[in-house]
Structure 1
Amino acid sequence: MRLLLLTMAVMPVLTACAVAAPHTFSAINSERAEFTSLPSDHRFEDRQINRSNVSQLVEAWRFRSDEEALMNELRAAAQSTPLLLPEAAGAALVYCTAFDKVIALDPATGEQRWRFNPHTQEQLQRGAENGRAHRCRGVNYLEESRVGVGEHCRHRLFLATADRQLWALDALSGKPCENFANAGRQPLPGSEQPLGQVSSSSPVAVAGDRVVVGSAVVDFELAQAPRGTVASYDSLSGELLWQFDPLQGQPHSGGANVWAGISVDIDHRLVFLPTGAPSPDYYGAARPGDNRHANSLVALELDSGQLRWAFQHVHHDLWDFDSPAQPILFNWPDSKMPVPAVLQLTKQGYLFIFNRLTGEPLWPIHERPVPPSTLAQEQASATQPIPIAPPPLIEPNLTPESAWGITPLDRWHCRRQVETIGNLGLFTPPALQPTLMYPGSLGGANWGGGALVDGHRLLVNVNNVAFAGQLFKATVQQLESRRDHPANGEVMQVVMHGSGYGMQVQALTSFLGTPCNRPPWGQLVAVDLTAGTIEWRRPLGSVHEMAPLPLPFELHWGTPNLGGGIATDGGLFFIAAAMDRTLRAFDSGSGELLWSQQLPVDATATPLSYRYRGRQYIVVNAGGHMMFNRPRGDYLIAYTLPDHSLTGDATDSSATTPQRDR
C-alpha cells in the first residue's frame, strides 16, 4: 500500500490551503414552481427513491464539461453541487466547473442550455502558475423582487470566482446583469492581492436583498497573510453594504477567513460565519492572545454586519484547526417550545451546539487545561474548550500499545515511531521535535459538513488518520522559496515567511505505507444530538484501489474522504467522498449499505437530490481527488428509477419541498 503513504503525505495541504465549502444546495418542485434552498444540513424531502427501491437506480444521463485535459494540466478537481432553478427562472440544473464556468442543463436529459465563462485562458494559466488550484463548489440563486416580472435579471445567479470577482448572471440566459456593479461584476476584498493569495471557492450566501461573501486565503505561507474580510452587497446594484474583519484590532496576523459555507437565518436576520485559522497556521509568537474571532462561530446582524455573539472553539490556533464546515441551523426540541439552534462541526471532531439567537451552549462547554509550548517565544493557550456531549466524532488516542499494523513487523515499526514522538494529547503544541497531530488539518470533520435526519440525528463523514508534525528553522534558501504545495509523494513542508520557521507534516505510517492508527481511516457517523450519544459508525470507502497492485476485492477499512452527503425523506443518505470511485446509499436509520455505483473517477462533491416533472433524480459531480494522485474527470452523472418502478404514491408531489429553518 505504498501509494497510500504517498497520497496521505499531502493530505493536509488541501485543508491548509483554506478551501471552501458549499453554502446551500437547492431543489424545487418544478410542477408547482416553488424554489427553496436546503438548510445547511443537506437534507432533501422526497420519498420516491426510498429504502425499498434504491437498489433499482439506473443512470439517467451524464454530461461532460470538456475540461478534463485542463484539469490535469492545472491541477484542478470538479467539486460543485448543482442547483435546480424554479420554472420562472428556467427550471435548469445549474452548476459551476472547476474553472468557474457556469453551465445550465436540462434536468431530465442533461443537455446543455447555456454556459458562461468568466475567465480567459491567460487568467487560468496565471492562476496555475501562482500555485493555487482552481475550484468552484457552487453558485446560488435569488429572485430580485425589485426587477419587474419577465425582465432581464429578475432571476439571478451569483458566482464568486477564483480571481475574487462577484458575478450576477441572468438565470434564464447566463448573460451578466448589466445593472449590477460594473456590467455584472463586482471586485471583492482581496482582488487587489497577487493572484492566488486570496481566492473564492465557496458559494456565496443569499438572503432577501443581499449577498454575503467569504474568501479562501493562503494562511500558512505568510506570517501576515491577507485579512479574511467578509463582505455584504446589495443584490440589485452590487453596492457594498458592510464588511467584517474577524481579527479586528490585531495587526500582526491575517487570515481568519471564512472559507467554509456561510449560513443565514433570514427570519431572525442573522448570518453565521465559520472562521478559519489566523496566519501563520503553526506558529503564533507574533500574534499573542486568543486571536479572536479566528477559529470561531460568529453570529452577525444581517442588516448591519454588527456582532451579535461569537464562540471560539480553538484559542490561539497552532494546528490549522479551521472551522471546516457550514454551520447547521435546526430546532432543538424543548418541553415548552423548540429552541432555534446552530451546530458547528470542527476538525477536532467536536460538535458545539448553541441557541443561535443568544449563543448560549445547549450542551455545556468546559475549558480544560492543555500543554504549554516548549518554544521560548510561543504562548500557547493554557486551556481549550471541550463540550461535555456529544462525544468526539473520532477518538484520537494513539499510544505505543495501540499502534496498528497488518503484520507484527510493521506493527513494531509503528510502535517504535509512536514511542519517540511527542504526545500530550489533542492540543500538543508543535515543537522542534516531532509531535503527534491527531487529527491533523484534514480532520475530523471537513468541508462536506453533515445532514440532519428526524430533526435531531446528524449523519457526518469524518477522517481518522494520525500525522506527525515538526517545526524547523527555515534556511535562507527555504525563505526565498514561494512554493506552497509539495509534489505528490513528498512530505508536506511549508515555510511561514516572516516567522523564521517552517512546518513539516506527514502521515504517521509504517514502512508498508499503512497508517499507524487502527482503521477505519474514513467513517460515516450517526449522532443523536439531543441525547448526546453516538448511535453507530460505519467504514466509508474501500482501500482496494490504493494498494501498489489493485486488489480484486473490496477492503472496507475506510479511506480519507472529502465532500459530504445528502439525506432524503426516503430514509437514505447518499455520499461519495471516498477514494474508491463509488457513490453509495446508506440506510439513514441503521447505516446499512443499500446501493452503490462505481463512478469513472472519485467524487468529492456533495450529491444533489431533486424532483423534475414527477421524477426524483440523484446527481453527483465526479471530478477526482485533487493532489491525491487519483484520476480526474469532468463528469456530472444523474441517477433515477426506471419507469416500471414509479407508482402513483411515489410521484406524490406533497413530499418534494425541502423543509427549512430559515
Structure 2
Amino acid sequence: MSHRSTLLALVLALTCGVSAARAEDWPAFGGDHSNRHASSLDAINRDNVSRLRPAWIFQTGQTGYFQAEPVVIDGRMYVSTTHNHVAALDAKTGAVIWTYTHKARTEKIFGPPSNRGVAVSGGLVYEATMDGRVIALDAKTGRLVWDIEAVRPEEGETETAIALAAGLGDKPVQGSSRLGFKMPPLVADGLVIVGVTGAGYGLHVEDAKGGLDGGSVVGIEGGYGRRGWLAAYDARTGEERWRWYVTKQDGWEGDFVEKTDDGLPLHRDIAAEKAAAEKNRDAWKVGGGSLWMTPAYDPDLGLIYLGTGNPAPQNFGLTRPGDNLYTMSLVALDVKTGALRWHFQQVPHETWGYDVASPPFLLDWPGDKGPVKAVAEASKLGWIYVHDRKDGRLLGKSAPLITQKNLFQPPSPEGTVVSPGPLGAVSWHPVSFDARTGLAFAQVRHGAATYTVKTVSGGQGKPDIRYTETSEARGEPAHSTLTAVDLSKGGTIAWSIKAGSRLSGGTLATAGGIVFSGEEDGHLDAHDTRDGKLLWRFQCGAGIGGPPVTYAIDGRQYVAVAAGGSSFTKASGFGTGDALVVFALADQ
C-alpha cells in the first residue's frame, strides 16, 4: 500500500471524528463509524482488477439468506451466518479458528433467519440475534461471555391480523409482527447499540413460486403491529443503559401535515384522519417502526444517526391517523442517553412501504461558506437526502435516481400504480461514498407496484375486512442500475449503468478506482468509478447477499463477499448458497 493511501486513511478517519484504525483492517460495519463503505486500499485497481481470482472460500454449512458483512481485525475475520452462528477465520488463508453455534430459544422469529453481521471491540464479538438476544463472545476463543434476552419475538404479538387473514381465502399467507434483530451492532462510547425489526411487518400472500417477489403485501386495517425500539447495552456486562421507542407516546399524530418537509404533496384525507383520531388514540402502542441497519456515529457531536421503518398497520393508515412520529424518519439520538436531538420524517403517515432502510453515512457537504459536517441517507423514494449533522436541517437532495410515478398517490379500489414500489429505489443495501471524489455509489431498483384497497365479508355478523394489497405492477420497468451520484456537485447523476440482474448486497468503493457491486444471479462485479465501465466479474455460485469488504495482510489486498442469496433471489429463480468468497490478485 502506498504512503499516500496510508496518509489518506488517517485524514479520512480524523475528518469522520473517529479514532484512526489500520487501513489494512475492516474493523466495523461500513468500514468505520462513518458508514461510508469505502477503503483507502489501492493495490487492487482499475489496471489490474481483471486478474482478481478466488484466494479462499469458507462454506458456512448454513444454506440461504447469507447477508453478513465480515469484520477483519489484525488478520482475523469474524462473520455471522444464517441462524446466527459465528465463525472466526484466518483472514489470509480461511482456516477456521473457532465457531459458535447459536441455539435459538424460539422458532417464532421475524422473516427468514438472516443476520447482517457482528461488531468487534475490546476483545469481544457482539451479535444481535433473530430470537431477540444480544450476545458477547470472547474474540480469541468464541466462548460465550454474556447473553441478554432483549425481547421475546412472540411476546405481545397480536393475533388480530392472523385471524383476519382467514378471510382472504385459500391464498398462502405468511408474516407476523414478531420482534428480532437483523442489523450489525454499533459499538460506541462503551455501548452496544441495536434496534429491532419486525415492528411494522405486514402479512404477505405468496406467489406461485412460493416467494414474495411478485406476490402481495397485505396491510390489514387496525390493531396490528409492534412498537419499534433501539436500545444500548453496556459493552462489558450487557446491562441495558437506555431504550428509545420509535413511536411517540404523546403527540405521535404530529401536525397532520399536507406536504413533506421538502414540499411534496402527500394527498392525505386529513379530515377523515382527524375524525378517526379519538377512536384510535392508542394506535402508537402497536405503531411499528423497524430499525433495519446500523447507525452512523459522530463522536465529536456525541450523536448517532439511524433510519426508521414504516408504521403499522402496514399500507393502511386510517386506523393510525396523524403523522405517526417518528416512523419513516432519519433520526439523531444522543449516544449516552438515547434522547432525541432531531428528526426528519421523509414520509408522514406513510402507506407505501418506503422504510428509511439504507444505513446513513457521514460526509462533508459543500456549503456556501465552506464544507458542512453532514449526514446522508439514500432513500427508497429515489433521492439521497443530505442533512446538517447538528440540527437535521435539509442541506439538499440528489437528482432522482429513478423515474417516479404517482408518488404518494393513495391506494384505491381500482388499483393505483406507484413508482417506486416498496422495494425501493434504495432498500437496506449500503451505499458507498468516496470522499476523495465526492461520489456515492448506489444499487438502485427501478420498479412500480399496484396498491389496491379490497374488502371481504367478515361473515357471521362480523365487520367486513378492509385491506390494501400491494403487488408488482406489470408492464412497468423492472431492472436495477448501479448509479454514481456526485455529492460534491449538489447530487447530480455522474453515471448510471443497467445491470443484468437485480443488484443486491450493497457497494464497496476503493482508492484503486473500483466500485464492487453484487447481483442476485451470483455475479460480483467491479466497475470503474470514473464512468461505470465493467472491468471484471465473477460468478460466485449463489446470489450476492451481503456487502463486499476489503482488507490487506502482508501487503496483499483481499475482497470478501457473502454469496448466499435471499428470499428474493429464490423467487427470481436464482439459487441460495453458503459461501464466503475471498478474492486476491492471481499473481501475488
Q: TM-score interval w.r.t. the shorter chain? A: 0.7 to 0.9
Answering whether residue 572 of structure 2 is matched by residue 631 of structure 1, we say no
Alignment of 1:109-188 (within 5 A): 109-119=93-103, 123=105, 126-127=107-108, 132-143=111-122, 155-177=123-145, 184-188=146-150
The equivalent of 1:536 in structure 2 is 495
Alignment of 1:505-654 (within 5 A): 505-509=470-474, 516-518=475-477, 521-532=479-490, 533-540=492-499, 542=500, 559-576=501-518, 578-626=519-567, 627-628=570-571, 629-643=573-587, 646=588
Give the secondary structure class of the aligned counterpart of 1:595. Answer: strand
The equivalent of 1:464 in structure 2 is 446
Shift in alpha-carbon separation, 1:448–1:499, aligned structure 2, 3 A: farther
TM-superposed CA distance for 1:517, in Å, is: 2.8
Q: Which moved more, 1:212-221 or 1:434-443?
A: 212-221
Taking the aligned partners of 1:282 and 1:30, their CA distance within structure 2 comes to 45
Alignment gaps of 5+ in structure 1: 1-23, 72-76, 144-154, 178-183, 364-388, 398-424, 481-497, 510-515, 543-558, 647-662
Equivalent residue for 1:501, pick from 461, 466, 487? 466
Larger RCO, structure (CA 8 Å, separation 6 or more): 1
The TM-score with structure 1 as length reference comes to 0.70
Equivalent residue for 2:78, pick from 85, 90, 94? 94
Give the secondary structure class of the aligned counterpart of 1:391. Answer: coil
Q: Is the 8 A contact 1:202 1:259 kept in 2?
A: yes
Give the secondary structure class of the aligned counterpart of 2:50. Answer: helix
Shift in alpha-carbon separation, 1:393–1:197, aligned structure 2, 3 A: same
Shift in alpha-carbon separation, 1:190–1:213, aligned structure 2, 3 A: farther
Q: Is the 8 A contact 2:26 2:549 kept in 1?
A: no
TM-superposed CA distance for 1:535, in Å, is: 1.2
The equivalent of 2:258 in structure 1 is none
Give the secondary structure class of the aligned counterpart of 1:232. Answer: strand
Shift in alpha-carbon separation, 1:137–1:27, aligned structure 2, 3 A: farther
Shift in alpha-carbon separation, 1:208–1:279, aligned structure 2, 3 A: same
Equivalent residue for 1:440, pick from 421, 430, 440? 421
Taking the aligned partners of 1:309 and 1:62, their CA distance within structure 2 comes to 44
TM-superposed CA distance for 1:613, in Å, is: 2.1
The equivalent of 2:315 in structure 1 is 282
Taking the aligned partners of 1:635 and 1:334, their CA distance within structure 2 comes to 44
Q: Is the 8 A contact 2:36 2:361 kept in 1?
A: yes
TM-superposed CA distance for 1:584, in Å, is: 0.3
**Greater fraction of residues in strand:** 2
Q: Deviations over 1:417-438 (max 9, x none)?
A: xxxxxxxx11110122211021
Taking the aligned partners of 2:316 and 2:386, their CA distance within structure 1 comes to 29
Q: Is the 8 A contact 2:329 2:346 kept in 1?
A: yes
Matched letter for residue 637 of structure 1: V
Q: Which moved more, 1:193-202 or 1:350-359?
A: 193-202
The equivalent of 1:233 in structure 2 is 233
Taking the aligned partners of 2:363 and 2:338, their CA distance within structure 1 comes to 22
Shift in alpha-carbon separation, 1:595–1:31, aligned structure 2, 3 A: closer
Q: Which moved more, 1:429-438 or 1:623-632?
A: 623-632
TM-superposed CA distance for 1:564, in Å, is: 0.2
Taking the aligned partners of 2:382 and 2:400, their CA distance within structure 1 comes to 5
Alignment of 1:448-487 (within 5 A): 448-453=429-434, 454=436, 456-476=438-458
Shift in alpha-carbon separation, 1:198–1:475, aligned structure 2, 3 A: farther
TM-superposed CA distance for 1:329, in Å, is: 0.8
Alignment of 1:288-367 (within 5 A): 288-334=321-367, 336-363=369-396
TM-superposed CA distance for 1:230, in Å, is: 1.0
Q: Is the 8 A contact 1:297 1:310 kept in 2?
A: yes
The equivalent of 1:391 in structure 2 is 399
Taking the aligned partners of 1:273 and 1:463, their CA distance within structure 2 comes to 22
RMSD: 2.6
Give the secondary structure class of the aligned counterpart of 1:37. Answer: coil
Matched letter for residue 246 of structure 2: P
Shift in alpha-carbon separation, 1:449–1:29, aligned structure 2, 3 A: closer
Q: Is the 8 A contact 2:521 2:574 kept in 1?
A: no
Answering whether residue 194 of structure 2 is matched by residue 213 of structure 1, we say yes
Alignment gaps of 5+ in structure 2: 1-17, 158-175, 204-219, 253-281
TM-superposed CA distance for 1:218, in Å, is: 4.8
Q: Is the 8 A contact 1:189 1:229 kept in 2?
A: no
Shift in alpha-carbon separation, 1:446–1:169, aligned structure 2, 3 A: same
Matched letter for residue 567 of structure 1: A
Q: Is the 8 A contact 2:287 2:324 kept in 1?
A: no
Q: Is the 8 A contact 1:27 1:84 kept in 2?
A: no
Give the secondary structure class of the aligned counterpart of 2:374. Answer: strand
Taking the aligned partners of 1:186 and 1:200, their CA distance within structure 2 comes to 13
Q: Is the 8 A contact 2:425 2:444 kept in 1?
A: yes
Q: Is the 8 A contact 1:38 1:44 kept in 2?
A: no
Q: Is the 8 A contact 1:608 1:620 kept in 2?
A: yes
TM-superposed CA distance for 1:39, in Å, is: 2.6
Give the secondary structure class of the aligned counterpart of 1:99. Answer: helix
TM-superposed CA distance for 1:62, in Å, is: 0.7
TM-superposed CA distance for 1:29, in Å, is: 4.9
Shift in alpha-carbon separation, 1:33–1:392, aligned structure 2, 3 A: closer
Shift in alpha-carbon separation, 1:455–1:158, aligned structure 2, 3 A: farther
Matched letter for residue 133 of structure 1: P
Matched letter for residue 445 of structure 1: V
Alignment of 1:50-89 (within 5 A): 50-68=45-63, 71=64, 77-86=65-74
Q: Which moved more, 1:216-225 or 1:587-596?
A: 216-225
Q: Is the 8 A contact 1:101 1:116 kept in 2?
A: yes
The equivalent of 2:275 in structure 1 is none
TM-superposed CA distance for 1:189, in Å, is: 4.0
Give the secondary structure class of the aligned counterpart of 1:217. Answer: coil
Q: Is the 8 A contact 2:110 2:180 kept in 1?
A: no
The equivalent of 1:377 in structure 2 is none
Taking the aligned partners of 1:266 and 1:524, their CA distance within structure 2 comes to 32
The TM-score with structure 2 as length reference comes to 0.79
Equivalent residue for 1:270, pick from 299, 303, 312? 303
TM-superposed CA distance for 1:215, in Å, is: 0.9
Shift in alpha-carbon separation, 1:569–1:427, aligned structure 2, 3 A: same
Taking the aligned partners of 2:226 and 2:94, their CA distance within structure 1 comes to 40
TM-superposed CA distance for 1:301, in Å, is: 0.8
Q: Percent identity among equivalent residues? A: 31
Taking the aligned partners of 2:402 and 2:340, their CA distance within structure 1 comes to 32
TM-superposed CA distance for 1:65, in Å, is: 1.1
Aligned residues: 491
Q: Which moved more, 1:456-465 or 1:192-201?
A: 192-201
Shift in alpha-carbon separation, 1:217–1:441, aligned structure 2, 3 A: same
TM-superposed CA distance for 1:141, in Å, is: 1.2
Q: Deviations over 1:142-191 (max 9, x none)?
A: 12xxxxxxxxxxx11110000010001111111111xxxxxx11121455
Q: Is the 8 A contact 1:27 1:609 kept in 2?
A: no
